[in-house]
A and B are shown apart, each in its own frame.
Chain A
Amino acid sequence: MKTDHLIHALALDSQIQSPPVKRVLAVAAVPALAIALGLYFSLLGLRPHLIALLGEPRISFKIALCLLLAVLSGPLVLRLARPGAEVRRPALLLFIPVALLAVSIMAEAATVPEVLWGQRLIGSNAAFCLKSIPLLALAPLAGVLIALRHGAPTRPGLAGAVAGLLSGAIGAALYATHCPDDSPFFVATWYTLGVAIVTAVGAIAGWRLLRW
């Protein structure tokens, strides 16, 4: 095949274009979130008196923290799908939720008597938390990976991992509105582990599915 003829063929094919990642993501988000919410309401459901409880700082903090993680990892995953895009700044922003979590742990340690630490850490629902976050994250992860296939991630494993982080954060935010364990000790341990599982699954899936 001559390169000139290949160019001629590519130009003739210029009318058919795959849609940009952002648009696919916007479309895929609808069924993905619908499935996650369906699972949430059929298997978990809102914590009783949640609205009244939002005044309790531990509860609003854990929900806000998960939402912040989702909001920060979204732009990063979009940039990872664009060759040559600057990713350092959005990646560094991910330290904000990490730092906030560290501060909340210190605040908890300062205000809760040491004898209660173990109980706060183990909580009442650790195993359920570990199952629920990945389960709720599954459909969002599929949606983000489908969208990324329309992009051009030159680091497929990393792009998949951040897709997992975003989906894990969505799953964790949903789970946070159900979970009765509010201590930052619990969140830092079990939520982090749940999100890490989804991130690892995303990395493996990305490495396999996002190469081009």
Chain B
Amino acid sequence: MRASDREKEWASLMRAAIAGNAAAYQNLLTQLTPVLRKAARRGLAQAGMADTDAEDVVQETLLAIHLKRQSFEPEAPFGPWLWTIARHKLVDALRRRGRRINLPIDDFVEVLANEDFEPSMIVADVDRHLDGLPAGQRNVVKIIAVDGGSIDEAATKLTMTKGAVRVALHRGLASLAAKLR
């Protein structure tokens, strides 16, 4: 599939996601992950950093995409939106690791045009910040985002309503992203 066709598909998945289609959204994020991973590895390597941090960058970028998805204009092309966010989060990650580096955006375009697939790994950075969340948010985020549980499971385990679980999940993801700034 040509890169432009793929971006069109991503744009339509994102439009569906913003309209409330969770399956399309999950599909989109799953497709973006290997592309983001490759870009993160390349960016870290260029900055002379270990690419063991790549999965952290991927997760931070996914969180940013999630929390800022309403900034995607339905009629706009998806690629520039995606790689501007990816680059922004990589620069952020490098800055937090004590490096400032100028990343030409062309590298992202090139990397995003030829991704490959890699298994997801377990990482430390996001997890470390989990412990800093308020207990209500942390418990819900742990059950759903760490253990892969459902809203129902979290509601039962924590004797909360499903609505309260959804709110705690949303707030937990937002505060996680805020800690990673």
- Contacts from A to B (Cβ < 8 Å): 1-21, 81-85, 150-152, 154, 211-212
Q: Does B47 contact A (CB under 8 A)?
A: no
Given B127, B166, B177, which contacts A1 in the complex, CB threshold below 8 Å? Answer: B127
* Bound-state Cα–Cα, A10 to B26, Å: 8
Identify the closest chain A residue to B71 (Cβ).
Answer: A152
Asked, given contacts A82-B76, A84-B83, whether A8 binds B22 with beta carbons under 8 Å apart, the answer is no
A21 touches B120 (CB 8 A): no
User: Nearest 8 A-B pairs (CB), nearest first?
Assistant: A84-B80, A9-B145, A83-B84, A11-B26, A3-B120, A152-B68, A84-B84, A152-B71
Give chain B residues whose Cβ lies under 8 Å from the Cβ of A8: 26, 144-145, 148
B177 touches A13 (CB 8 A): no
B70 touches A84 (CB 8 A): no
Contacting A at CB under 8 A, from B12-34, are 17-18, 20-23, 25-26, 29-30, 33
**Using an 8 Å CB-CB cutoff, how does the interface string of B77-99 with A read, 1 for contact, 0 for none?**
10111111101100000000000
Q: Does B112 contact A (CB under 8 A)?
A: no
Asked, given contacts A3-B33, A4-B148, A212-B68, whether A15 binds B166 with beta carbons under 8 Å apart, the answer is yes
A13 touches B166 (CB 8 A): yes
For the residues of A in contact with B, the DSSP-based class is loop
* Bound-state Cα–Cα, A81 to B71, Å: 7
* Bound-state Cα–Cα, A17 to B173, Å: 12
Identify the closest chain A residue to B85 (Cβ).
Answer: A83
Give chain B residues whose Cβ lies under 8 Å from the Cβ of A14: 17, 20-22, 25
Give chain A residues whose Cβ lies under 8 Å from the Cβ of B127: 1
Give chain A residues whose Cβ lies under 8 Å from the Cβ of B181: 211-212
* Bound-state Cα–Cα, A17 to B33, Å: 21
Given B68, B76, B173, which contacts A10 in the complex, CB threshold below 8 Å? Answer: B173
A1 touches B146 (CB 8 A): yes
B84 touches A3 (CB 8 A): no
B71 touches A83 (CB 8 A): yes
B84 touches A21 (CB 8 A): no
* Bound-state Cα–Cα, A2 to B77, Å: 29
Instruction: For the complex formed, measure the closest distance between the CB of B91 and the CB atoms of chain A, giving whole angstroms.
Output: 9
Identify the closest chain A residue to B26 (Cβ).
Answer: A11
Given A1, A84, A85, which contacts B145 in the complex, CB threshold below 8 Å? Answer: A1
Instruction: For the complex formed, measure the closest distance between the CB of B101 and the CB atoms of chain A, giving whole angstroms.
Output: 16
B70 touches A7 (CB 8 A): no
Asked, given contacts A6-B145, A10-B29, A11-B25, whether A212 binds B64 with beta carbons under 8 Å apart, the answer is yes
| 19 cross-chain CB contacts under 8 A | A7-B29, A7-B30, A8-B144, A9-B141, A9-B173, A14-B21, A16-B166, A17-B18, A18-B67, A82-B73, A82-B76, A83-B68, A83-B71, A83-B84, A84-B79, A84-B82, A85-B80, A154-B84, A212-B177
